Amino acid sequence: MWSFSDIANNIHNWLSNQFNTTWTMIFEMLIAGVCVIGLFALLGLVLVIMERKVSAWMQIRLGPNRVGPKGMFQSLADTVKLMVKEGMTPWGADKTLFNLAPFIAMIVAMLLLAPIAFASNFQLWDINIGVLYVSAVSSLSVISILMAGWASNNKYSLLGAMRSGAQIVSYELSAGLSILAIIVLTGDLRFSTIIASQADGWWIFKGHIPVIIAFITFIIAVTAETNRAPFDMAEAESELTAGFHTEYSGMKFALFFLAEYVNVFIVCAIGATLFLGGPMPLHIGLWEGFNHAMDYIPSSVWFFGKTFFLIFLIMWFRWTFPRLRIDQLLRLEWKYLLPISMINLLLITAMAILKWHF
């Protein structure tokens, strides 16, 4: 059965036969860059229509149903609209920072895709500090938000950016402690090693209740980090019009919009990799027949299935819970999630030392 790794190996072998080592590496980097850009565009189209269909289903209505079969081309129509709209720069804005901010948001998202395994033995960069790399690079996203809010010369944008900065910095602590729980159990920062450690069972099953707590904390924290409802205080339409991107239009707004959805995909991909085995199929103990049948499903299907399941959960949150106030949002992190995460990490450390996990 075909796989992403087979395709990558075939391309590498063909390029190696045609060019020397330097040109082979250059062409492979160009191909990887084009594939990442194509994936971003595809994710934007798919996740936007998914968001609208999920919200319609939650509210017992149809959602987009005019453009294309059952409204499936609505995202494409919105893309065309954003591409032809004029990009405006407000008077008094810092033009350099104003124009640079959306590109930084997209660059950070592209960098985060590098260590993620989309299928078995298929990664752009299997770095030995993959988890640390993701944690460090993801923290840079707040720079683009603060830059956009300040450079817009708009008080609503500045308030939204300051809220987002406080929110992201706060919830990074709980997200980091949840990720650290899996590192303690595996003893490695490499994504491929973490995936391999789940060959006999996903950590959410092997790690008992403490890992389930870490998983729930992780989902809540990354929902806040991506500025998704009910934690979308940076874009609170009812009070800040659109928050930090109030003054953006056209393709600059589209880049921020796309970066938000790509970041949702990335955090869900990381959650699926750490807690649900990533591309690893579901194996149950000594059920050899069941395990053998699960191996027939391609690893890429497992990865994207788990990732989109977590994306559905985050979208479910948006259309279920009311938006929190900024004081409630910060209280949830500092008084509840952070202490729970710290105590839970101690439990997981003891469990790892005493080998109480499966």
Predicted local confidence at residue 235, as pLDDT? 64
> Does 91 have pLDDT greater than 70?
yes
| Residue 155: inside a domain | yes
| Residue 310: inside a domain | yes
DSSP 8-state secondary structure symbol assigned to residue 332: I
pLDDT, tens digit (0-9, with 9 covering 90-100), for 133-170: 999 998 888 889 889 989 988 888 888 888 888 888 88
Predicted local confidence at residue 358, as pLDDT? 67
| Banded pLDDT at 212 (limits 50, 70, 90) | very high
| Banded pLDDT at 1 (limits 50, 70, 90) | very low
CA gap 93, 120 in Å, rounded:
47
Candidate from 8-12, 192-196, 232-236, 273-277 with smallest mean pLDDT:
232-236
Predicted local confidence at residue 240, as pLDDT? 57
> Does 2 have pLDDT greater than 60?
no
> Which whole number is the average pLDDT over 283-300?
83
Predicted local confidence at residue 179, as pLDDT? 94
> Which whole number is the average pLDDT over 280-305?
86
What average pLDDT is seen over the chain?
Answer: 87
| Banded pLDDT at 287 (limits 50, 70, 90) | confident
Predicted local confidence at residue 214, as pLDDT? 95
| Residue 5: inside a domain | no
Number of Cβ within a 10 Å radius of residue 102: 24
Predicted local confidence at residue 50, as pLDDT? 93
| Residue 349: inside a domain | yes
| Residue 44: inside a domain | no
Residue position matching structure tokens 């020397």: 20
| Residue 277: inside a domain | yes
Q: Which domain does 111 fall in, by range?
A: 87-354
| Alpha helix stretches (DSSP H) within the chain | 4-18, 21-58, 74-84, 95-112, 130-138, 141-151, 155-186, 191-196, 203-206, 208-225, 237-240, 250-275, 288-295, 299-318, 326-331, 338-354
| Banded pLDDT at 236 (limits 50, 70, 90) | low
Instruction: Identify which has the larger pLDDT, 243 or 288.
Output: 288
pLDDT, tens digit (0-9, with 9 covering 90-100), for 163-209: 888 888 889 999 999 999 999 999 899 999 999 998 888 999 888 89
Exposed/middle/buried for residue 286 (C-beta within 10 Å: 0-12, 13-18, 19+): exposed
| Residue 200: inside a domain | yes
Nearest to 277 by CA among 204, 169, 207, 350: 204
| Residue 82: inside a domain | no
pLDDT, tens digit (0-9, with 9 covering 90-100), for 238-286: 555 667 878 888 888 888 888 889 999 999 999 999 999 989 998 877 7
Predicted local confidence at residue 248, as pLDDT? 87
Please count the structural domains in the chain: 1
Predicted local confidence at residue 185, as pLDDT? 92
> Which whole number is the average pLDDT over 87-110?
88
> Does 115 have pLDDT greater than 80?
yes
pLDDT, tens digit (0-9, with 9 covering 90-100), for 42-82: 998 999 999 999 999 998 898 898 888 888 898 889 888 88
C-alpha dist (Å) from residue 90 to 84, 152, 243, 249: 19, 7, 15, 11
Angle between helices 299-318 and 208-225 (to 10 degrees): 60
